[in-house]
A = this chain, B = another copy of it.
Amino acid sequence: MSGNSIGRLFCVTSFGESHGPAIGCVVDGCPPGLTLAAADIQAELDRRKPGTSRHVTQRREPDAVEILSGVFEGVTTGTSIALLIRNQDQRSQDYGNIAERFRPGHADYTYWQKYGVRDHRGGGRASARETAVRVAAGAIARKWLRERFGIVIRGYMAQLGEVPVPFESWDEVGRNPFFAPNAGIVPELERYMDELRKSGDSIGARINVVASGVPVGWGEPVYERLDADLASAMMGINAVKGVEIGSGFACVTQRGTEHSDELTPAGFLTNHAGGVLGGISTGQDILVSMAIKPTSSIRLDRRSIDKSGAAVVVNTHGRHDPCVGIRATPIAEAMMAIVLMDHALRHRAQCADVVTTTPRIAGLAPDGRQQPPSPRD
């Protein structure tokens, strides 16, 4: 494989370019018997799709998904599931002027030097449009994880540029275009984005994702640890430049007495580990945070070179997100789901017969009550 697949047992193989005929994927390894309809996937795609507010790209893509295989009479059959999303709004002319030059911060130069050929229309394969595929595949994983284990995966914007977004409530996340878990801060975010858009510049963001209800024991011990696979999945999202599990970089200045989470019969007292110890889930919430760089496509002048190596000036007037982090939350959730589902299958492959009499503890909720246990695992 050449980098278009993710997962060993729940394996997603992606295809498609921003302005080609279609994008899509093949999802292999899904257990049979899961009820699945296009509407299940569409609901997730609609959360990510462009054009839903003035703060994101105005490209109009219905992102209508078609299930081509692997589902019969509304139920997965255990064979490979192909998902197809036709591209609709392909104004290739927007991109003609960048065919011969390399946009700073984009993959134009690296693709060209690697492959000697590239589909330059809208970034081609390197476009963030490919992330729709991840969301579609992730929708299958999160449905299975929820129905089989009661796992809930939720993300939110934790910071927009210089503006921290304090967590208040999961309920708010779906009520604003930023995925902000805080109603009071939305006006400030809107002002921030309106000013930014006028300036022609772009900005970064921080996204957090939490998986609740993951049983203890998922993950591998040395190289394909749960945290390593999560780091790979998140760093593999377009524009991500940093990933943290649990305390993340804050652990540099932590003492062992602070960082290592104590266990009690009622549960873990803290969750600096972020729900992973030795590469294996603890039963606590899985906590991941990531940094998303500012959009590289801006309409301000930037120095660059063209294919002949000559100096040029580039600015980009297409329809772009001034902060790609705004639409990143559903993508990060989807990647979390794909990784967890893969490890769910891997775990039971090797350890289906394991039983211990040791009670399974989880984390403690902020008010001291133990988190609700998974319905079954």
Contact = CB atoms under 8 A, between A and B. Distances in A.
10 contacts: A3-B222, A3-B224, A15-B82, A17-B79, A105-B273, A113-B360, A115-B354, A130-B222, A224-B236, A257-B298
Interface stretch (A39-47, A57-65, A178-186, A287-295): A287-295
Interface residues of A, number: 165
A84 B66 CA distance: 13
Interface in A221-274: 221-225, 227-236, 238, 241-265, 269, 272-274
Given A9-B349, A112-B358, A263 B305 contact: yes
A309 interface: yes
Given A21-B66, A32-B115, A245 B235 contact: yes
A219 to B, nearest CB: 8
A283 B114 CA distance: 11
Contacts of A230: 235
Contacts of A20: 68-69, 72
Given A109-B282, A359-B309, A114 B217 contact: yes
Contacts of A109: 216, 263, 277, 282
A80 interface: yes
Nearest to A335: B223
A37 interface: no
A249 B242 contact: yes
B241 A202 contact: no
A13 interface: yes
Contacts of A2: 9, 11, 28-29, 78-80, 220-221, 224, 346, 350
A265 B119 CA distance: 23
Nearest to A245: B241
